[in-house]
Amino acid sequence: MIALALYDEARRALAAAWRVDEVTQIRDRAAAVLAAARIARDEELVRQATEIRLRAERKAGELLREMAKNGERVKGGDPKSRDATLAKLDDIGVTKSQSSRWQKLADMRTEDFEAKISGAAKEIERALVATQAERIMAKRERRAARERELGAKIAAWPVKRYGVIYCDPAWRFETHSENGLDRAADNHYPTMTLEAIMALDVPGIAADDCVLFMWVTGPFLRHGFTVMEHWGFEYKSRFVWDKEVSGNGYWVLDNAEELLIGVRGDVPCPAMGDAKFPAVYTERKGRHSAKPEYFAQIIETYFPSLPKIELNRRGAPRSGWDAWGNEAEGGEL
């Protein structure tokens, strides 16, 4: 709205101007706004400033031509023979090249001039898009380099540490009644109390710069934040898995789980232009507690170089990962 108001004001000022110096002042202000709009990558402001600048130059050309026609300024010839009473281009702050170019704009047919305005704005907008793409690519390359450097730094530690910790704590859920015991987690694997989960030595295996991905169900969301903070991580965001099938729940039938994301130290988040994934992902649940491979693939996409470990892993470790858990090979936490 502010930009539109300035544009309308500039159009009115240009229509009211009758001296070359007034018009060139409007033109210079438009040029300054155009330069700022390019830096800000504001396409609408670029279009408006480009139009005002060209309209001001065309009007300046019309006024210069009119002044020469009316004998109000010097036009060509030997400078020594010029009438000292006539205005010179230098006197009105216009260069010879500007005068020539602006008068050519004044000589253009209206439809050709309007097409020139449209073409000039589009050309600048295309340049802006190209520049923005280059900046995005540069940011992506810098982020990728930081991720690789961090991975090498962590891997060089004499005691093994991890830059990515992916965990699915064995939360202990109390069922409504004996009828729900067949679906209780304890019926499928040993669960842990909140205190026991907090006591896991996750801080001891985490690098100074580390990202934590932790699964939590709705009833344990508060505990998830508690555990994350206790382990020394700051919550950043989350993914939501829509399981399509309703499960247990006191207040709601819980058909979703959340993958909390926390960071300790300085871990590069995905750069603009990198593959960023939507917060909600839908996949029908499989066997009890199993999580979609999709989320591990996201982690690998974001952090290909960081040493990774999966806690509470079932089966063999993923390729390139370490694993710990009651049903996976690994050391004690």
Torsion, Cα of 303, 307, 310, 311 (10° steps): -130
Superfamily covering domain 157-324:
Vaccinia Virus protein VP39 (3.40.50.150)
Statement: residue 328 has pLDDT above 80: no
Statement: residue 176 has pLDDT above 50: no
Q: Is 247 exposed, middle or buried (0-12, 13-18, 19+ CB in 10 A)?
A: middle
Residue located via tokens 């829509």: 242
How confident is residue 2, by pLDDT bands cut at 50, 70 and 90?
A: low
For 81-118, the DSSP string reads GS-TTSB-TGGGT--HHHHHHHHHHHHS-HHHHHHHHH
Mean per-residue pLDDT of the chain? 84
Query: How far is 117 from 6, CA to CA, in rounded Å?
Result: 18
pLDDT of residue 77: 46
Statement: residue 276 has pLDDT above 90: no
Residue closest to 238 by CA, chosen among 202, 281, 272? 281
How confident is residue 90, by pLDDT bands cut at 50, 70 and 90?
A: confident
Domain ranges for the chain, please list them.
2-76+84-135, 157-324
How confident is residue 292, by pLDDT bands cut at 50, 70 and 90?
A: very high
Listed range (19-28, 51-60, 87-96, 295-304) with the worst mean pLDDT: 87-96
More confident site: 247 or 22: 22
Query: How far is 148 from 144, CA to CA, in rounded Å?
Result: 6
